[in-house]
């Protein structure tokens, strides 16, 4: 079992920044990748960013490239999402995810574990 807890959501004005954190606990020794997805009201869940645990290879959604940065601290079992130049369309519930399998692309929704989600609201 792996437990994921997101911290750092909140309300921010357009152009501002937020940093999300995700703490992984439990049996995390076989982690292949961790990532972030988001879901806005009335929209499908979408991929945001992901990072492989061993090599640090990253992948980003086109909509956030140049604005968001994903990073990880392997020793602490933590993953972060630095969000800069936030836009109203970034408003969503953000979910931290973890996967042990490398059989899917990093942007694939088939992650094994999901956090409870944290609300990010960007005002215009």
β partners of residue 27: none
Element (H, E) at 121: strand 118-123
In degrees rounded to 5, what are phi and psi of residue 80? -130, 155
pLDDT value at position 80? 98
Q: Which residues, in sequence order, are CB contacts of 19 under 8 Å at separation 6+?
A: 8, 80, 81, 82, 83
Q: What is the DSSP string of 7-38?
A: E--EEEETT--EEEEEEEEES-TT--EEEEEE
pLDDT by residue for the chain (124 residues), tens digit each?
899 999 999 999 999 999 999 999 998 889 999 999 999 999 999 999 999 999 999 999 999 999 999 999 999 999 999 999 999 999 999 999 999 988 888 888 889 999 999 999 999 9
């Amino acid at each position: 079992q792996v437990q994921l807890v997101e911290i750092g959501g909140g309300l921010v004005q357009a152009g501002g920044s937020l940093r999300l954190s995700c703490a992984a606990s439990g049996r995390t020794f076989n982690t292949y990748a961790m990532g972030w997805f988001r879901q806005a009201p009335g929209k499908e869940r979408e991929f945001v960013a992901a990072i492989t645990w061993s090599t640090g290879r990253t992948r980003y959604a086109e909509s956030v490239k140049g604005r968001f940065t994903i990073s990880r601290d392997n020793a602490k079992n933590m993953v972060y999402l630095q969000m800069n130049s936030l836009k109203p369309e970034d408003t969503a519930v953000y979910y931290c995810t973890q996967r042990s399998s490398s059989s899917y692309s990093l942007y694939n929704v088939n992650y094994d574990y999901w956090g409870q989600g944290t609300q990010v609201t960007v005002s215009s």
